[in-house]
Amino acid sequence: MLVMDNTALLLVDIQGTLARTVHESNLVFDNWLKLIKAAKLFKLPIIMLEQYPQGLGATIPEVSRLLEDVPPIEKITFNACLNENFLKKVSETGRKQLLVAGIEAHVCVYQSVSGLLEEHYEVHVASDAVSSRKSWNRLVALERMRDQGAIITTTEIALFEMMRIADNEMFRQFITIVK
């Protein structure tokens, strides 16, 4: 299970027009916002990636506005673990669990999850917060990530795992995020 004090949120390439054209974009978009708001409430470290922003565009404004204090890590590799700045940032969090969301599931999400597993992190993929342009690419990517050892979850399962208890002020704030 995810533990609030041991988890970081990784947002992969939520950029440009692609973010609005992936399969079930409205669903994943809503879940990206839930994950970000909950991560801020839980005080999770947040790492944001951008794949070649000069060509694909910047992180979408709805996400970047919520994360003005989180500079994106630019990359040109599909596997973010091939980027030393990324590996350093992940290590600096001191967290061993990563909750992953973003696009595209079968390219940068899949390859980055594979790299994180090779680096011995426990990786949870929010299946309703990752997507690809084609649904079958997303489905196969989720299967392959599971086969490699990633834990496939959903936004609400992951967030409620970290929340753990319903009788405190944080829960009252939390429930407004997931409703």
Residue 20: other Cβ atoms inside 10 A: 10
Q: Residue 147 catalytic? A: no
Single out the residue of 45, 44, 33 nearest to residue 129, CA to CA.
33
Number of structural domains (the chain) is: 1
* Residue type (1 letter), 122: E
- Which listed residue (34, 89, 108, 128) is catalytic? 108
Q: Which residue among the candidates 13, 34, 89, 128 is catalytic per the annotation?
A: 13
The yes-or-no answer on residue 81 being catalytic is no
Which CATH number covers residue 116? 3.40.50.850
11 Cβ contact list (under 8 Å, min separation 6):
32, 35, 36, 46, 47, 48, 49, 59, 63, 67, 101, 102
Q: Spot the catalytic one: 34, 75, 81, 89.
A: 75
Prediction pTM value: 0.97
pLDDT reported for residue 167: 86
Domain membership of residue 119 as a residue range? 4-178
Please report, in tens digits, the pLDDT of each residue of the chain (179 residues total): 999 999 999 999 999 999 999 999 999 999 999 999 999 999 999 999 999 999 999 999 999 999 999 999 999 999 999 999 999 999 999 999 999 999 999 999 999 999 999 999 999 999 999 999 999 999 999 999 999 999 999 999 999 999 999 989 999 999 999 99
The edge-to-edge listing of strands for the beta sheet with 97-103 is: 73-75, 46-51, 7-12, 97-103, 122-131, 151-153
Cis peptide before 104 (omega within 30 of 0): yes
